[in-house]
Amino acid sequence: MGSLLALPAVADDGLPQVAPGGRSPYVAVIVWHDVVAGPKEVWFDTPLDTFKSQLDAIRRGGYHVVTLEALREHLERGAPLPTKPIALTFDDDGHGIYENAFPLLRQAGWPATMFVHSNFVGLTTHGKRHNTWPQLLELARSGLMTIQSQTANHPPDLRVLSDADVVHEYVLSRFSLEHRLGVKIWALVYPEDHYDARVARLAAQNGYELGFTEDWGSAGDSENLLMIHRYSALTRFAQALSDVSVHASSR
């Protein structure tokens, strides 16, 4: 029990490290954006039929979908995961996540996490409708969808902002989501995958335990807990499943 209760080690750069026991098994975190039933609204949408086939591949392949909380315990403290583990995530709070993706996830009984830019909730931006606060509350209360942060205003590049402005994005988002949804916010996605050690360190200093990128690889092989690997479902879905399967068969 002692190893499971230990806090993550912190490197000289101030960033918490993946626990030694969190480096195995190979776990793929996969990210989608919106899932649309009709034509794509933007290039990074996933058509509903494609999403259905991807879920079917997960089912047929015998993969185990784990919660974000289970992944956190694994990476921070070395808590065990099932064989062939994957975690499902969504960015940007698109309307199709609620309307199209979540009913399928609920039917399968699979957990997922949605990262939300809190100041865009209920709005239409750049041609994309975003879910409303009542919809997010329904998802949060479902027991299957974890809501976490993608900053408040989705700045295109956190790296060009001052420390104070980066902290404002982090703190405002966490406050809004916790206040409106009654959930604990402890994980973050960097908008447009722009991040560096400074913005990661500011996240760690302001209440975030995990930060996610779109650099592919096993989550346990990440440089630290604020730069966790994810596979893009648009370009690397098949690779994510293959990588998990290959490593599972070699153990």
| CA 233, 235, 237, 240 torsion-angle sign | negative
CA dist 131 and 120 (Å) reads 9
Measured in degrees and rounded to the nearest 5, phi and psi for residue 108 equal -80, -20
Q: What SS3 state is found at 32?
A: strand
Contact between 86 and 244 (Cβ < 8 Å): yes
Q: Is the peptide bond before 25 cis (omega within 30 degrees of 0)?
A: yes
In 101-172, at which residue ranges do the beta strands (DSSP E only) sit? 112-116, 124-125, 128-129, 145-149
The mean pLDDT value for 12-20 works out to 89
Residue 4 has pLDDT above 80, yes or no: no
- Predicted confidence at residue 127, as pLDDT, reads 86
Quick check: 111 and 66 in contact, CB under 8 A?
A: yes
- By C-alpha distance, which of 39, 27, 42 is closest to 234? 42
Residue 79 has pLDDT above 90, yes or no: yes
Please report the pLDDT score of residue 3 as a whole number: 40
Q: Summarize pLDDT for 24-76 with one digit per residue, the tens.
A: 999 999 999 999 999 999 999 999 999 999 999 999 999 999 999 999 999 99
For residue 123, give every residue at least 6 positions away whose Cβ sits within 8 Å of its Cβ, in sequence order, or none.
130
pLDDT level of residue 6 (50, 70, 90 thresholds): low
Long-range contacts of 174-178 (CB under 8 A, 24+ apart): 174/149, 174/206, 174/207, 174/208, 176/118, 176/119, 176/152, 177/116, 177/118, 177/147, 177/148, 177/149
State how far the Cα of 104 lies from the Cα of 167, in Å rounded to an integer: 36
What pLDDT shows up at residue 216? 97
Q: What is the pLDDT of residues 148-186, one digit of tens each?
A: 999 999 999 999 999 999 999 999 999 999 999 999 999
Please name the CATH architecture into which domain 13-249 falls: Alpha-Beta Barrel (3.20)
What percentage of the chain exceeds 70 in pLDDT? 97
pLDDT digits (tens, 9 = 90+) for 214-226: 999 999 999 999 9
